[in-house]
């Protein structure tokens, strides 16, 4: 079982406006939606303890598409955005009739202080491979064909790994004296699968969620009924 990039987390102050943008303007689909009564013990919703929700949006099922996790904390309308990101998520849309782009998401861009140290971290701790090395940037992926102030709104990048590798990933980070934000733990979602996670921070403080792939595939199943509900909200004049 290979490791794979899953999603990038974005915290928003107005869920409806945000989903209208992603669905109505960018053509994404609502893949699933989940509600939580209290803050996540792995700070999935940030440093907040109240009620929150997450909505997964993207261009296809999570098993084979990189997606966005849109987090909304009830009662919080804005965040300190910090200065970690620029052009954080890059998407490519092909316009020619004979072009085919299965997944418009191309990359997540992160600012770092030391390019070599960051490359070593993602290669040694997460097992990624580097390519396209330039003076001021580097590309990292799990395979060749897989295409500063953090603030409160800064999210995290999630990667799926075999569950039996999570403990060794955490230990590797500790041995290299990198930050482990949340040690190996289990997260429950009401009515769905329980997943194992380890939350790390890279040398620049960018948060990384490593989640057990086996149960995550069950948790992340597409919910057609949820997509239908949101379609009726966004496009009330259409027939579904």
Report the alpha-carbon distance of residue 93 to residue 217 in Å, rounded: 27
Class of domain 4-234: alpha beta
Per-residue pLDDT reduced to its tens digit, 111-144: 888 999 999 999 999 999 998 787 788 988 887 5
The number of helix segments (H) and strand segments (E) in the chain equals 5, 12
* pLDDT-based confidence at residue 145 (cuts at 50, 70, 90): low
Share of the chain above pLDDT 70, in %: 83
Is 201 in contact with 177 (CB distance < 8 Å)? no
CB atoms within 10 A of CB 37: 8
pLDDT in tens, 163-210: 999 999 999 999 999 999 999 999 999 899 999 999 999 998 889 999
Q: What is residue 93's predicted lDDT score, i.e. its pLDDT?
A: 47
For the segment 152-165, what is each residue's pLDDT rounded down to a tens digit?
556 789 999 999 99
Cα end-to-end distance, the chain, whole Å: 38
Residue 80 or 103, more confident = 80
> DSSP secondary-structure letter at 118?
H
What tens digit of pLDDT does each residue of 199-223 get? 999 998 889 999 999 999 999 999 9
In this structure, what are the phi and psi dihedrals at residue 198, rounded to the nearest 5 degrees?
Answer: -130, 130
Q: What is the 3-state secondary structure (H, E, C) of 148-217?
A: CCCCCCCCEEEEEECHHHHHHHHHHHHHCCCCEEEEEEEECCCCCCCEEEEEEECCCCCEEEEEEHHHHH
Q: Could you report the per-residue pLDDT of 34-71, keeping only the tens digit for each?
A: 999 999 999 999 999 999 999 999 999 999 899 999 99
Domain boundaries, the chain: 4-234
Q: How confident is the model at residue 239 (pLDDT cuts 50, 70, 90)?
A: low
Q: Supply the pLDDT for residue 51.
A: 97
Task: State whether residue 18 is helix, strand or coil.
Answer: helix
Q: How far is CA 185 from CA 1, 174, 199, in A?
A: 21, 16, 9
**Predicted local confidence at residue 96, as pLDDT:** 39
Residue 132: the pLDDT is 78
- Choose between 101 and 155: higher pLDDT: 155
- Rounded to an integer, what distance in angstroms lies between the CA atom of residue 104 and that of residue 91? 5
């Amino acid at each position: 079982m290979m490791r794979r990039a899953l999603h990038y987390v974005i915290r928003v102050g107005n869920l409806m406006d945000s989903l209208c943008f992603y669905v109505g303007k960018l053509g994404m689909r609502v893949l699933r939606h989940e509600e939580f009564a209290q803050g996540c013990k792995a700070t999935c919703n940030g440093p907040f303890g109240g009620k929150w929700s997450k909505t997964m949006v993207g261009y296809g099922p999570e098993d084979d598409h990189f997606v966005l996790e849109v987090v909304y904390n009830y009662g919080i309308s804005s965040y300190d955005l910090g200065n970690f990101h620029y052009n954080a998520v890059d998407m490519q849309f092909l316009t020619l009739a004979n072009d085919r782009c299965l997944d418009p998401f191309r990359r997540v861009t992160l600012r770092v202080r030391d390019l070599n140290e960051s490359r070593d971290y993602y290669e040694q701790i997460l097992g990624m491979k580097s390519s396209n090395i330039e003076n001021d940037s580097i590309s990292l992926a799990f395979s060749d064909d897989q295409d500063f102030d953090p603030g409160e709104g800064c999210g995290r990048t999630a990667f799926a790994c075999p569950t039996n590798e999570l403990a060794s990933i955490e230990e590797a980070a500790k041995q290299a004296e990198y930050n482990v934000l949340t040690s190996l733990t289990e997260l429950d979602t009401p009515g769905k699968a329980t997943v194992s996670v380890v939350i790390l921070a890279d040398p620049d403080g960018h948060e990384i969620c490593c989640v057990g792939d086996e149960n995550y595939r069950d948790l992340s199943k597409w919910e057609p009924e949820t997509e239908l509900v949101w379609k009726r909200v966004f496009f009330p004049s259409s027939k579904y």
